[in-house]
């Protein structure tokens, strides 16, 4: 199994977190179920191999071959089988809106076919990605696609991009008042623009980012946490009950069950 | 997967209508709020029980007018919107400082901040057909000093 990330060009870095490519050389021996907590990033995903299913809550759907997804506010599961082949762009929280002018509150928890959102022009890109034999080549095609869009719209980086990126960089551990002090804007205007460009409110986004970072940290440490008190405090939670409440709300599981499930999953990977 | 494009685009306009409702609420403009609903639309303020059910245009407007009168700085923040079929669910934070008696709670000048869940259902003309609103009524009263 190959999973690779590619950094964007510096001028795209305020809008793009990375390009990714995930593939297998042949079919999987057994179907795989992968849990994904809300990460705080929107993305465009292109499948160039076997289709896969996405489960959110009680609903399971087949992911469109090329789709756009906004902020996730709850955990979802990928059910993959056969041969894996998917590539895509992970955007910084306001990046999709800035580069494509999309109202992101309309894409929260949605996976919409790209052609429905951006028109048939993406069909050519999808075909090119399918024919490209290397992951680096696919990443280059995705960057060319963004380059054209960047040139078309110009550099529209604004205070919402700045604020959203700051929340990412601080792992969600800051308050809206701290952001407002930084930006010199009125709360109401800021919150409306943030909802438009990110898809959720700044306070809610900071909560998503915090949980997403916690889950990433758990995975980095192979779900082995020796000092939970310290871990919870560093992640910006007041106390254990605050942490459990937040974690359960966004992942649908208590932390202990989440860790147990993932430790079991890691044995199979 | 065969995706129903028509349905997706309808979902988008309905989320926009829900957002317009909260923008009007934030602007303290109840006339704009009710104009987004069908004439026979209903509203249910769940924590008020049976007394909390009524018509959107009359009962709903009366409750929102009363809220705005009693909490002159009332404001909302839409945390997230999600659409499924003809339903849009909005998680919204609402806060305000009490200036007058509200539903039997005397004013002590306290502020409330409360998470609300609004569930809109839309008709085929993309008008609000019904709305249910839920919040932690006990916490609301406690914050106001009741």
Does the domain at B5-143 match CATH 3.40.50.1980? Answer given as no
* 3-state SS, one letter per residue, for chain B: CCCCHHHHHHHHHHHHHHHHHHHHHHCCCHHHHHCCEEEEEEEEEHHHHHHHEEEHHHHHHHHHHHHHHHCCCCEEEEEEEEEECCEEEEEEEEEEECCCCECCECCCCCEEEEEEEEEEEECCCCCEEEEEEEECHHHHHHHCCC
User: The whole model's pTM is what?
Assistant: 0.86
- Out of A106, A201, A204, the one facing B12 most closely (by C-beta) is A106
pLDDT for the residue B10: 52
Averaged over B82-110, what is the pLDDT?
A: 94
Looking at beta carbons, which residues of chain A come within 8 Å of B9?
116
pLDDT tier for residue B9 given thresholds of 50, 70 and 90: very low
Contact status, residue B23 vs residue B97, Cβ threshold 8 Å: no
Instruction: Answer with the residue of higher pLDDT: A189 or A198.
Output: A198
Does residue A192 sit in helix, strand or coil? Answer: helix
Chain B: closest CA distance from residue A125 (Å) = 19
Fold of A2-153: Jelly Rolls (2.60.120)
Whether B58 shows a pLDDT value over 70: the answer reads yes
The CATH number of A159-268 is: 1.10.10.60
B101 touches chain A (CB under 8 A): no
pLDDT for the residue B109: 96
Whether B82 sits inside 8 A of A73 (CB atoms) is yes
pLDDT for the residue A231: 87
Whether A72 shows a pLDDT value over 90: the answer reads yes
Q: Tokens for A58, please give them.
A: 């009680």
pLDDT tier for residue A14 given thresholds of 50, 70 and 90: very high
What is the residue extent of each domain of chain A?
Answer: 2-153, 159-268
Averaged over A193-221, what is the pLDDT?
A: 91
Whether A265 shows a pLDDT value over 60: the answer reads no
ipTM of the complex: 0.77
Average model confidence (pLDDT) across chain A: 90
Q: Which of A51, A113, A201, A202 to mutate to test the interface with B (most CBs of B within 10 A)?
A: A201
Whether A268 shows a pLDDT value over 50: the answer reads no
pLDDT for the residue B11: 53
Whether A95 shows a pLDDT value over 70: the answer reads yes
Contact status, residue A198 vs residue A104, Cβ threshold 8 Å: yes
pLDDT for the residue B8: 47
Whether A252 shows a pLDDT value over 80: the answer reads yes
Whether A186 shows a pLDDT value over 90: the answer reads no
pLDDT for the residue A35: 85
pLDDT for the residue A93: 97
CA-only gyration radius of chain B, Å: 16
Whether A223 shows a pLDDT value over 60: the answer reads yes
Looking at beta carbons, which residues of chain B come within 8 Å of A50?
none
- Out of B5, B15, B80, the one facing A116 most closely (by C-beta) is B5
- Out of A61, A192, A200, the one facing B80 most closely (by C-beta) is A200
**Number of Cβ atoms within 10 Å of the Cβ of B132:** 17
pLDDT for the residue A36: 86
Q: What percentage of chain B exceeds 90 in pLDDT?
A: 84
> Exposed (0-12), middle (13-18) or buried (19+): which is A31, by Cβ within 10 Å?
exposed
Looking at beta carbons, which residues of chain A come within 8 Å of B85?
none
pLDDT tier for residue B2 given thresholds of 50, 70 and 90: very low
pLDDT tier for residue A264 given thresholds of 50, 70 and 90: low
Chain B: closest CA distance from residue A23 (Å) = 21
B12 touches chain A (CB under 8 A): yes
- Out of B1, B5, B80, the one facing A61 most closely (by C-beta) is B1
């Amino acid at each position: 199994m190959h999973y690779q990330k590619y950094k964007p060009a510096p001028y795209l870095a305020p809008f793009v977190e990375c390009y990714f490519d995930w593939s297998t050389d042949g079919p999987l021996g057994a179907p795989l179920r992968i849990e994904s907590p809300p990460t705080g990033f929107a993305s465009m995903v292109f499948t160039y191999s076997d289709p896969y299913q996405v489960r959110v809550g009680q609903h399971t759907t087949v992911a469109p071959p090329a789709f756009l997804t906004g902020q996730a506010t709850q955990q979802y599961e990928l059910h993959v089988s056969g041969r894996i082949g998917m590539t895509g762009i992970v955007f910084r929280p306001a990046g999709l809106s800035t580069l494509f002018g999309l109202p992101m509150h309309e894409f929260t928890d949605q996976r919409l076919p790209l052609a429905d959102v951006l028109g048939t022009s993406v069909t050519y890109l999808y075909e090119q990605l399918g024919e490209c034999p290397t992951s680096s080549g696919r990443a280059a095609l995705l960057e060319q696609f963004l380059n054209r869009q960047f040139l078309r719209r110009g550099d529209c980086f604004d205070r919402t991009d700045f604020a959203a990126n700051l929340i990412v960089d601080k792992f969600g551990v800051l308050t809206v008042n701290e952001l407002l002090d930084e930006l010199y804007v009125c709360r109401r205007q800021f919150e409306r623009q943030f909802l438009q460009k990110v898809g959720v409110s700044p306070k809610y986004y900071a909560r998503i980012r915090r949980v997403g970072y916690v889950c990433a940290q758990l995975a980095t440490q192979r779900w082995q946490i020796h000092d939970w008190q310290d871990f919870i405090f560093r992640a910006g939670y007041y106390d254990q009950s605050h942490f459990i409440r937040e974690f359960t709300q966004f992942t649908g599981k208590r932390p202990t069950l989440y860790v147990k499930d993932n430790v079991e999953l890691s044995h199979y990977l | 997967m065969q995706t129903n494009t028509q349905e997706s685009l309808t979902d988008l306009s309905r989320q926009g209508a829900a957002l317009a409702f909260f923008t009007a609420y934030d602007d303290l403009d109840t006339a704009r709020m009710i104009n987004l609903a069908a004439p026979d639309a209903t509203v249910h303020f769940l924590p008020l029980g049976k007394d909390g059910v009524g018509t959107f245009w009359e009962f709903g407007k009366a409750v929102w007018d009363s809220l705005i009168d009693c909490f002159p700085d009332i404001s909302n923040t839409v945390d997230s919107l999600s659409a499924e079929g003809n339903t849009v669910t909005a998680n919204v934070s609402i806060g305000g400082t009490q200036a007058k008696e509200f539903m039997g709670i005397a004013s002590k000048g306290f502020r409330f901040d409360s998470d609300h869940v609004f569930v809109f259902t839309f008709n085929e003309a993309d008008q609000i057909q019904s709305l249910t609103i839920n919040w932690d009524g006990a916490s609301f009263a406690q914050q106001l000093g009741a």
